[in-house]
Amino acid sequence: MQVEVERLPGSRARLVVTLPAEDVTRAMDEAFKTLVRRYEVPGFRRGKAPRHVFERYVGRSVLLREAAERLVDQSYPEAVREAGVEPVEGPSIQFRQVGDGQALVYTAEMAVKPVIDLGDYRDLLHEPLEVGEVTDELVEAELKAAAEEEAQWVPATEEDPVEVGSRVVLDLTGRREGEEEPFAETSDYAVEVGRGTLLEGLEAQLIGLKLNQHVTLSVTYPEDYPDPSVAGKPAVFDVTVKEHKRREVPPVDDELARAKGLADLKELREQMANRVRERLEREARERRLANVLRRLKERVAFEVPAPLVNRVVQRQLDDLQHTLSHLGVTMDQYLATRGKTLAAVAEEMRPGAVERVKDQLLLEALAKAEALEVTDEEVVEALRPVAEAIRRPLDQVVGNLKVSGEFEALRGNLLVDKAANFVREPQTA
């Protein structure tokens, strides 16, 4: 087999693969053994027709085509390895030469990971870790957060105004300005004010309302709102606050400490100081990782494969939908409150997705440059909690993932994580 590689713009590659004529002959023999069992040839039982009769009845070109497709399936993985490219999508196959007694020539074009030359990057790895100071203000903020963790939802009185963080249940009736007939009518609509689950201009006007209050609020829908019947148009909503709950936060004292399983406030304060210290160290490591990647992106230019970006965007959309479902909100409701289409939200995510893919590719290049590896044992250990969670034998989970190819995908993810941890810690010379 001969393989030629042509790098194309847009982080794509084209392989030209040539297989010798004897491979084509052998593949046609194998193809005949399979195809003869699929066709009914007059005068013969299925699978018993001689080859010359089969070819005359079905056509030799059918054998040739089947043989060519088999050879592509068999040779493509090896051609990729020989070419030294990393595809990120399935190939587009075109046959250049398919003939009796001739070599088979085909092209395979696909998006691939770019070749990244990091250059002299070691200076970035020696800079010290800069950890912030544990101040009294930070400890007090942590104590406040600890108290908020113990907060309880309590019914608000009729004198308590709705504020950011309030939970309210509303009856809503929406009418286009100048019309009597409602275009929207909802009962018992739950909103946590500040979460952005209601039309932006409407949610902001809930602040200051009180329990059992009935008001009429005016809004103007965004010009790009998905529903053209209200896009860019004014509307009024009759709103009734049927329920209102607020968070009651306990004071920071010995009783709070005991609720946390500690002896007193002094011990709680020490615990919060340690928590702040650990957080500052984590933040310093994350900041270091971000700074190294940012500076590498400034130094190293490379193209980003579109399929990788599309996958990240789709994962973000899936995560968004999962989060919304836990809030009891549909994607359509979310899009309506934002006045966006799904395509528009996906485009908003794309620049960030490009940066995430760049980070991943740079970490993969750094792992290669530093000869970092992930062993089979490390992959198996990463799968152990998965097997326990789904109550399956670990060796069964490992075997299934090896068959599907996801075992190697997990190895790649773990390698990126290992490279990130390598960057987070300052390296000695």
User: Which of 188-192, 196-200, 418-422 shows the lowest mean pLDDT across its residues?
Assistant: 196-200
Q: Please, which residues bridge with residue 108 across strands?
A: 15, 93
More confident residue, 265 or 326: 265
- What average pLDDT does the structure give for the chain? 92
Pairing of strands 152-155, 167-176: unpaired
Q: Does residue 408 form part of some domain?
A: no
Number of structural domains, the chain? 2
Query: Do 421 and 370 form a contact (C-beta atoms < 8 A)?
Result: no
User: Rounded to a whole number, what is the largest CA-CA distance in the chain?
Assistant: 97
- Among residues 60, 82, 111, the one where a domain terminates is 111
Q: What span, in angstroms and rounded, lies between the C-alpha atoms of 156 and 280?
A: 37
429 has pLDDT over 70: no
What's the confidence (pLDDT) of residue 376? 95
pLDDT tens per residue across span 235-256: 999 999 999 999 899 999 999 9
Q: Does residue 190 form part of some domain?
A: yes
More confident residue, 211 or 334: 211
Q: What percent of the chain has pLDDT over 90?
A: 78
CA dihedral 396, 308, 289, 119 (to 10 degrees): 110
Residue 217 domain boundaries: 152-248
Q: Does residue 413 form part of some domain?
A: no
What's the confidence (pLDDT) of residue 81? 95
Q: Does residue 146 form part of some domain?
A: no
pTM: 0.71
**CATH number for 73:** 3.30.70.1050
**Same domain, yes or no: 78 and 161:** no
Query: Do 342 and 317 form a contact (C-beta atoms < 8 A)?
Result: yes
What average pLDDT score do residues 264-284 get? Answer: 96
pLDDT tier, 201 (very low <50, low <70, confident <90, very high otherwise) = confident
307 Cβ neighbours under 8 A, 6+ residues apart = 88, 89, 111
pLDDT tier, 232 (very low <50, low <70, confident <90, very high otherwise) = confident
What average pLDDT score do residues 337-362 get? Answer: 92
